[in-house]
A and B are shown apart, each in its own frame.
Chain A
Amino acid sequence: MIKPFRALFLLGLLTVGAAARAEFVVQITSGQSEATPIAIVPFGAPADAAAPFDVAQLVSDDLRRSGRFAPMERKDMIEQPHLGSAISFDDWRRLNNDYIVVGQLTAQGPDRYNIVFELYNVLTRQRLLSFQISANTAGLRLASHQVADMIFEKIIGVRGAFATRIAYISVLGHLPSKTYRLIVADADGANPRVVMESHEPLMSPAWSPDGQSLAYVSFEDRLPSVYIQTLKTGERQRVSARAGVNQAPAFSPDGKKLALTLSTRDGNLDVYVIDLATQGLTRITDDPGIDTEPQWSKDGQSLYFTSDRAGGPQIYKIALSPGSRPRRLTFQGAYNARPRISPDETQMVFVTQEDGAYRIASMDLNGRNDVQVLTKGRFDVSPSYAPNGAVIIYASRDNGRGVLALVSSDGRVQQRLVAPEGEVQEPAWGPF
């Protein structure tokens, strides 16, 4: 049934690391009414030159995109201090700000800058943060995301996830010649890089827990294979090209194993686990229905997965210990599939069918199993948690085109990330 393990080491065949031409446009479709008002004052620039990067703008964009903040418009600022000692707190309070951020970008030599910033509570005039980050020109964007992360964590109490990355599939062109790209970009969609390009479908990108590699499915041989590709070098390893289905890879929390879906000769899909060091294969499920879309529990001892053993697709959980029986988790509705588990494993998101539409739903995993439908589209699929669990990115449709969208884990903040070209699908949010 299972062919001997075959591994091929290849250099990434195509355009590894090439920049993709795509700047996402963020559209906030619904926000939170109690978003915290904050003023991010434009940063002071090096004395002798124009600022090489608008730190305050990016910080402001990140915080607005989180849905938890309402950054003040620049044009409404009556003054622009760069130091805490220059802040007239009464003025900023009259403009209804709860917090204010001031800072400077200073040149420290050729291609070397310091970002110095301070965060104040406008009401108490208390300084909450004072920090300095060093970066070269190319690193200023990442450093600015880190500034936003620190502000977010200080005020909200949850680690920020602005300085993280997403992977997704982009499909360009039309039948019969399409180009499929696996892309890695910053969490805000900036800096897209092509990791893999093919004229046959690419599917199901999944991050390694250390953020160094992606597992994915490629049909480049007109048959599905699961690959693991190291992002820095482009080196690829084919980890499964068995007869039949090779799908739905998911790294274990320790990165040492890969759960995936394989099929028997007569087409029965079940979930398996490959030990990446020994290449040993363990069958986890054994049922004539479709068992697929595995996801690991936080402790690495169980798998969540989709199965239609009871008729339509529903979500189950099974312990990896031999002889375990799966337990069904979803009972509401006829179609619940593709679970993703929140980083603290208190919540799960999945795709549910409602009024003929496919939408993202969440379910508490605390025993009460409350289900909440988070989105309102017709084709909302492929949810993926930010590593802080606060936001879920998913694939949606905008005027017939595949786009990425974001929803807060409580459903209250919704936004779209619209790429200028192509169909965008299957986002996977990388680790911290």
Chain B
Amino acid sequence: MKRLLAIGLLVCGTALLAGCPKKPTVSEPASTTSQVPASSATNGTGNGPSTSVSPYGSDTGANGGPGANGPLAGRVIYFDFDRAEIKPEYADLISTFAKNLVAHPNLKLRLEGNTDERGTREYNIGLGERRAQAVRRALMLQGVPEGQLTTVSFGAERPAVEGDDESAWSQNRRVELVYLP
């Protein structure tokens, strides 16, 4: 039984390495109402923008954030304008990553901070770094050793979505959690 569990963890770790979402996401067409996974139903459905046909065809749902069912779902934390506080609906995502990192000390995670395009480019680098650091601190508070975490800020230079309206901006203000090979 113990052994089975170990294999299970290993599989999960490998899957996470490949960037698998932390939980199954509903991959129905964007037009249908998505199921909210039970584990994240507590806080926040649909408080992202409601006009959400992004280039990825993602919908609002799950984590309540923009692009929550897109290819980045489950490994991206979205932020409010000019803010670096992690919203409560990402508590599950943080603790899932924290548990996995603690269980697998060889895993290394890179936190990539991004901003929307507004403001000056270099100040946005600072803002992106501040967001990445907020996620780093949250993971360290849950016991993740410092050595498993690195940060980088792309500022506004690597948008996830092109466009100059709030629907694009809300998907660009983000930290991507990326396992390093």
Contact = CB atoms under 8 A, between A and B. Distances in A.
A337 B162 contact: no
B109 to A, nearest CB: 14
Contacts of A353: 119
Interface string A244-256: 1101100000000
Interface in A185-201: 201
Contact of B118 (A175, A203, A308, A379): A379
Interface residues of B, number: 29
B125 A267 contact: no
Contact of A247 (B119, B122, B158): B122
A229 interface: no
A381 B127 contact: no
Nearest to A266: B133
Contact of A397 (B127, B159, B161, B164): B164
A223 B132 CA distance: 14
**Among A201, A224, A245, A306, residue most surrounded by chain B Cβ atoms (within 10 Å):** A245
Contacts of B59: none
Interface string B101-135: 00000000000000001111111011101101100
Contacts of A292: 122-123, 125-126
B58 interface: no
A261 interface: yes
B157 interface: yes
Interface string B144-171: 0000000111110111111010000000
B126 A175 contact: no
A203 B120 contact: no
Given A175-B55, A269-B129, A397-B164, A337 B123 contact: yes
A400 B164 CA distance: 7
A201 B136 CA distance: 23
- The dominant DSSP class at the A interface is strand
Contacts of A312: 82
Interface in B44-93: 55, 82
A337 to B, nearest CB: 5
Given A219-B154, A222-B152, A293 B119 contact: no
A306 B119 CA distance: 12
Contacts of B161: 175
**Among A244, A397, A425, residue most surrounded by chain B Cβ atoms (within 10 Å):** A244
A422 B127 CA distance: 26
Contacts of A269: 125-126, 129
Contacts of B162: 174-175
A266 B151 CA distance: 9
Interface string A222-263: 111000000000000000000011011000000000000101
Contacts of B159: 175
Nearest to B133: A267
A382 B118 contact: no
A224 B152 contact: yes
A400 B129 CA distance: 27
Contact of B122 (A261, A358, A400): A261
Contacts of B119: 313, 335, 337, 351, 353, 358, 381
A267 B136 contact: yes
A244 B55 contact: no
Nearest to B151: A267
B130 A267 contact: yes
Contacts of A338: 120, 122-123
A348 B153 CA distance: 28
10 contacts: A175-B160, A224-B153, A244-B151, A247-B122, A261-B122, A290-B126, A292-B125, A306-B123, A338-B122, A382-B121
8 closest A-B pairs by CB: A290-B126, A267-B133, A201-B157, A338-B120, A248-B122, A337-B120, A269-B126, A293-B122
